[in-house]
Structure 1
């Protein structure tokens, strides 16, 4: 909220430009907008003691997740003004406040934004007509959902223009504010980052409960800090089908995803298989990077070899230009190398590429992939406005899942050869003995003894000194009626662990018949 107020105060001199912001090619659907106040009861937010009064806190302590939803509407209602989005700022993390308290908070923010000589231009900016209609009836049908994460500590409405645009093209877009782990203030650390990532995961779950959302088609999108939090969310949930990062902090804050001691250790290239669109600002010079001490020694985007990755560089855009709020209110002086009009045009093209990317991977639109693969000028992009760098997935991710999928296609008799092919590409890939035993045991439970035999044979190949693996192979042989083979496996197990009484009992039973 503080960022919004400061930006408004800085930008009132140029608010005449605000109403001019618009995205070319709006979709066929009217857009509805609503706000849901809900809690994630699995996470605590308020402490047991009120940190202001020192008294016991008696309200709801679960994490509040203010939820903004843009969606295809049944019909166009009264269009909102930009000022209407300020109504969402009265209760971002405090739903228990009275209506009067919320109104006072909103009024205080507006009074600050419209004070003194800024009054007239501010009123023009706030009155700018938007596309969405508040609480319009939702259109029937099921649409893909996109969960949006805003920038560091900012409000959920910081990219309302893009959210409206996507909704007009048949997406349900859901956003919540960037809120810290235990207070409204976001913190620049892993706790804060994972709090926002968890909010996005919560919203993805909420999206699946909505009657107008297709639960099988969900993507995540984020700007700046939110464009790093959504990568964490995707690394944790492979049901996420597409990732959009708007100049996301995977570059500026790579220490959270580089596998170091400060990183989220589950963010691994093999777990990032969802297609990604990274839309970045014009690059810094080497001198600027050196001056600000930015660490560019690690690139997550270069490591994402198991996902289709599209990197767009928007030459007229600086980092802040990916926030439509900033484009509306930033002063003219902040547009140094390019004009506001050029940055706004680039934002419009970025929005179009976001939509075509989502169309490709969430809607299965066959024309979307061709659009993404084209040179920008072939799509009508003005020369020199943007540069593309496309890296299609080089190979499947080396995981237990990918190995299982391959054996499901080619047959389990191919287990050792398939494993060797994966390790030839990715030598670090391993299957732990426990994972193999659980896999083989699961096949036995489902009556697939022949397949289980091949999995335990893989286990024996990898761990020839593991007596438990020999037991698994013996169990598979017994299920197939192969008594002699089972006896040989138990015998080998006893050679490895001579004191195992149960294994000796099994072998004696086989040999006595």
Structure 2
């Protein structure tokens, strides 16, 4: 048995009394909780540099990105639970999967005493000894379950919100997390490269979920806390397979300059239902003193997704981590007017709202939807605990996908009408001629000639000076054996671009003369 665990398990009453006072009171769901640790690499990304900056020698070992992954899953009930120290020990192997046990002991002990410097040794040992819900390698429950990816805060480890992760597993979710490490070293970097590295980790886990027998990978949510609550927004903007977003006081609110620099992040690409759970609001005077950039706020711009904002009055930013609540001393908590019991209770209610939101949007559960629609008091929330703002989606975003869906309903023959209607509703909406030309050729290669003609026709409407669009339309007419319209459109393409040799050769094939463009 690990020496620290041995010491605390047999300390009994004195150590139990030394625990911090954090109580997670959300009731477990119908399932037991299993736990697995998987040590894997993302071989598509480099992590270690060719030369180690410390030794100035070539880097040794695997250079791919290490992703030690914790998996909590619905399981049969029963079995010996892990203790909190078991989660703390995973920190030592986040980068190096091959550390010996003695070195893991040393790193674990050093990291705990180095971070939680204001707590007594007895209190730390009391927390380490706490039994958790999870049972290592427990027998998985039968069935398929939606997937939740948890993205930790800046530099944080995968277990930082273990109470939330275990709770969601008990409620019927497969929960996956990996540490927030930097692009090329353990330290996260506070820049676009850093947050995109974590977004890449999320995308890796989306792919990894496909391999898990219990995972219903068609229903995936990403929960991000702080920095992870910026990374998950970037990931969702890039991957429409993410079905729901939860942000625990996420940095998407606090780093608008990084949001702006990730130009692919836009309201049109954020269509997954989104719940932002915020710390208690700061005053305008505090914002002015801190010189916080309030010139833009992506949360205000979200309009093509159901959006919820919960404000947790007893919680400052750090209180969204259950590890912080376990180990922070009273002087670290920054909430003099709230007791530990109140902040613990707030975290438990936060977890309930997360579960109900996921039930509503990943399981299509009517009770979850009703819970989210209720006033907090109707859900049994204590007075003054939290506030909820709701904003329903305004409909489908003005995108190529929405346009394609409209054609699916009304037919390709109505392409120009559907496009005009979308432009009337969204004046900034525009499909480039090249996008339409590429689409048209996909249809042509699939032998959907009539449909391709309609898309190429739209391309000539979108850009009536595009020689390429008329050339493509002529090719589709030629494949449809409509010689007259093929000739007409090849000639129009030549008028726009006299150097179009393809049109010249095609007209020769059609035994048609080349009409020279009018002078001037």
TM-score normalised per structure 1 = 0.92
Ranges in structure 2 where 5+ consecutive residues have no aligned partner: 1-14, 514-520
1:227 aligned partner: 229
Given the alignment of the two structures, is residue 72 of structure 1 paired with residue 55 of structure 2, yes or no? no
User: Quick check: 1:34–1:135 contact (8 Å CA) kept in 2?
Assistant: yes
What does residue range 71-470 of structure 1 map to in structure 2 within 5 Å?
71-110=73-112, 118-258=120-260, 263-333=261-331, 334=333, 335-470=335-470
Cα distance in 2 for partners of 1:502, 1:289 equals 62
* 1:482 to 2:482 alignment: yes
- Specify the SS of the correspondent of 1:317: coil
Deviations along 1:398-423, whole A, 9 cap, x unmatched? Answer: 11111111101111122112112222
CA separation in 1, counterparts of 2:508 and 2:348?
77
Distance across 1 between alignment mates of 2:222 and 2:28: 21
Contact map agreement 2:24 2:347 (CA 8 A) in 1: no
Q: Secondary structure at the match of 1:407?
A: helix
Deviations 1:267-319 (A, max 9, x none): 12211111111010111000111111111221111111111111111111111
1:229 Cα deviation (Å)?
0.8
Rounded Cα–Cα distance in structure 2 between residues aligned with 1:23 and 1:481:
72
Q: Secondary structure at the match of 2:82?
A: strand
Paired residues of 1:15 and 1:122 also in contact (CA < 8 A): no
Q: Secondary structure at the match of 1:427?
A: coil
Query: How far off its partner does 1:446 sit?
Result: 1.6
Residues 14 and 332, structure 1, Cα contact 8 Å, conserved in 2:
no
Deviation of residue 500 (structure 1)?
A: 3.4
**Shift of residue 499, structure 1, vs aligned partner:** 4.5
Judge conservation of contact 1:19–1:125 (CA < 8 Å) in 2: no
Which piece of structure 1 moves more, 124-133 or 288-297? 124-133
Pairwise CA distance, 1:501: 4.1
In structure 2, what is the equivalent of residue 10 of structure 1?
none
Residue 505 of structure 1, CA deviation: 4.0
Paired residue total: 497
Alignment partner, residue 58 of structure 1:
60
Shift of 1:51: 2.5
| Contact 1:487–1:511 under 8 Å retained in 2 | no
Q: Does the 8 A contact of 1:15 with 1:125 survive in 2?
A: no
TM-score (norm 2): 0.91
Q: Secondary structure at the match of 2:338?
A: coil
Cα distance change of structure 1 residues 75 and 393 upon mapping to structure 2, 3 Å threshold? same
Q: Classify 1:512/1:316 alpha carbon distance in 2 versus 1 (closer, same or farther; 3 Å).
A: closer
Query: Against the structure 1 CA distance between its residues 14 and 149, is the aligned structure 2 distance closer, same or farther, given a 3 Å change threshold?
Result: farther
Could you say what the CA RMSD is over the residues aligned between the two structures, in angstroms? 2.2
Q: Quick check: 468-477 or 116-125, which moved more? A: 116-125
**Distance in structure 2 (CA, Å) of the matches to 1:204 and 1:22:** 28
Per the alignment, do residues 498 and 26 of structure 1 end up closer, same or farther by CA in structure 2, a change over 3 Å counting?
A: same
* Residue aligned with 2:120, SS: helix
Measured in 1, the distance between the counterparts of 2:419 and 2:409 equals 14
Q: Distance in 2 between matches of 1:486 and 1:69?
A: 59
Indicate conservation of the 8 Å contact 1:73/1:137, yes or no.
yes
Distance 1:26 1:468, change over 3 A: same
How far residue 510 of structure 1 moved from its aligned partner, in angstroms, is: 3.8
Which 10-residue stretch deviates more, 113-122 or 138-147?
Answer: 113-122
Q: Offset at 1:116?
A: 11
C-alpha distance in structure 2 between counterparts of 1:197 and 1:331, whole Å: 32
Quote the residue 2:518 is aligned against: none
Helix, strand or coil at the partner of 2:491: helix
CA distance in 1, matches of 2:112, 2:459: 67
- Answer whether contact 2:24 2:345 (CA < 8 A) is retained: no
Contact 1:228 1:249 in 2 (8 A): yes
Structure 1 alignment gaps of length 5 or more: 1-12
- Structure 1 residues 247 and 15, CA, compared in 2 at 3 Å: closer, same or farther? farther
Distance in 2 between residues matched to 1:467 and 1:60, nearest whole Å: 51
1:114 Cα offset (Å): 9.0
Deviates more, 1:18-27 or 1:35-44: 18-27
Q: Does the 8 A contact of 2:249 with 2:320 survive in 1?
A: yes
| Preserved contact between residue 23 and residue 165 of structure 1 (Cα < 8 Å) | no
Whether the 8 Å contact between 2:119 and 2:328 is mirrored in structure 1 is no
